[in-house]
Amino acid sequence: MALLINSPLWAQAGTNQLESILRTQTQKAQQKSETLSLNQVLEQLQNEKISHLSWQEFLKQNEHVKEVEKASTKLENHLLNNQLGTLKEDANSNLFYHALGLPPYSQLIKGQNTIFIAESINHEAASSIDHAANIIRIIRKENPHARILLASEFLNWLGDEAPGLLKKAGEKTNLYISEGYMPVFRAADQANIDQLALDDFIWITQEKTSIVKIGPFAVYASPEDKVPSLNLAQDKLEDLALSTLNLVSVSPWGVRERNRQWARRINALRPFYDIIIVHAGDGHIAATYSMDLAPMLHVADYLLISLLPMEQLPENKKIFYENRSNIAETNGLCQDGTCYGLE
């Protein structure tokens, strides 16, 4: 297991004016939420208005977001080049560990109220999952009396009226949890940490149309749209729905809209917690600044821990992720490597 632990470049390079703006935005969001109870806030989030989008409209919007992503990556590189001298003088700006033991998390998390745990190289690597669980235990140990929330990409709300988006520590839930990630949520339960579902991947089929929910959007697709197939189901309409859901969710537009939804949920619940832990893929947290979660959360100071698993994924998972990426890229739904090259 290799880990990259960063205090954020943009927080280091940011001006006092930027930090003041971010702080003011956060305070306004908190003041608004503090007038409502937790249940009232959750009810508002669960009743978010849904906008409708055809597959062709999605493609058009996605092309725009792809260009924004490229422009943002180029801007990041330009600013990074101008900041390299400053960063070299700061010995604590980048810490890289490659060892079987744990890094000195107790020191790193002191005073941090926003902590990102980012998974790299796809998902579901056992070492990343176990390590994330260990980090959660350490955060609780170092903050025994804090109100802590774990906001996770790997906990999904299915649109049911109950239990809603939030799982209180130790409670049973109907929220969808991938079996592989159970160690993370067991650790949170044992540490008395509440858990927030960030996504709600809901899909339905009607006659010849599949409808999938991404953020606050319902994306419609029909066989005539020729959505690339991932061969996820034998039934053609069900395969269309699942392929649409997977491909849209990893597209630049889909990642941005999911991040916006995540930010709305986390910011709304922040006043009720002292520490927020976000566990997600690094494409949401550490990829391109304009679409990353941190600026959407209006945080200028946070700890980012990137987990880079050294072991191979199970063969079926490896094939799925490779297949999805290849199909998304070759069909123009995701970048063709331009941004990766720039990074």
pTM of the model: 0.85
- The DSSP annotation for 66-84 comes to HHHHHHHHHHHHHHHHHHH
* CB neighbourhood size of 295 (10 A): 16
Phi, psi of 35 (to 5 degrees): -80, -10
Q: Note the pLDDT of residue 12.
A: 39
Cβ atoms of 41 and 165 within 8 Å: the answer is: no
Pairing label, strands 275-281, 114-119: parallel
Q: What is the pLDDT of residue 10?
A: 34
pLDDT for 301: 86
pLDDT score at 176: 85
Task: Find residue 170's DSSP bridge partners.
Answer: none
Q: Are 273 and 86 in contact (CB under 8 A)?
A: no
Main-chain phi, psi angles of 117, to 5 degrees: -115, 110
> Residues 6 or more apart from 96 whose CB is under 8 A from it?
2, 3, 4, 5
Predicted local distance difference test score (pLDDT) of residue 210: 94
* Residue of 263, 255, 204 whose CA lies nearest to 72: 255
Secondary structure (3-state) at 4: strand
Q: Which residues contact 62 (CB under 8 A, 6 or more apart)?
A: 251, 252, 253, 254, 333
Which stretches of the chain drop beneath a pLDDT of 70?
Answer: 1-34, 83-101, 161-163, 287-290, 338-340, 342-343
Beta strand pairing call for 166-167 and 114-119: unpaired
Amino acid at 177: I
* pLDDT for position 8: 42
- pLDDT score recorded for residue 237: 94
What DSSP element (H or E) covers 130?
helix 126-142
Residue 123 has, within 13 A of its CA and on its CB side, a CA count of 20
Helix/strand number for the chain, H first, E second = 13, 13
At residue 149, the 3 state secondary structure works out as strand
How high is the pLDDT of residue 9?
38
- Residue located via tokens 């990642």: 255
**Quick one: 311 exposed, middle or buried, by C-beta within 10 A (0-12, 13-18, 19+)?**
exposed
252 vs 1, 60, 255, CA distance in Å? 28, 12, 5
**What burial class does residue 271 get, using C-beta atoms within 10 Å of its C-beta: 0-12 exposed, 13-18 middle, 19+ buried?**
middle
User: Residue 32: its pLDDT value, please?
Assistant: 54
Confidence at residue 7, expressed as pLDDT on a 0 to 100 scale = 41
> What does the pLDDT read at residue 69?
85
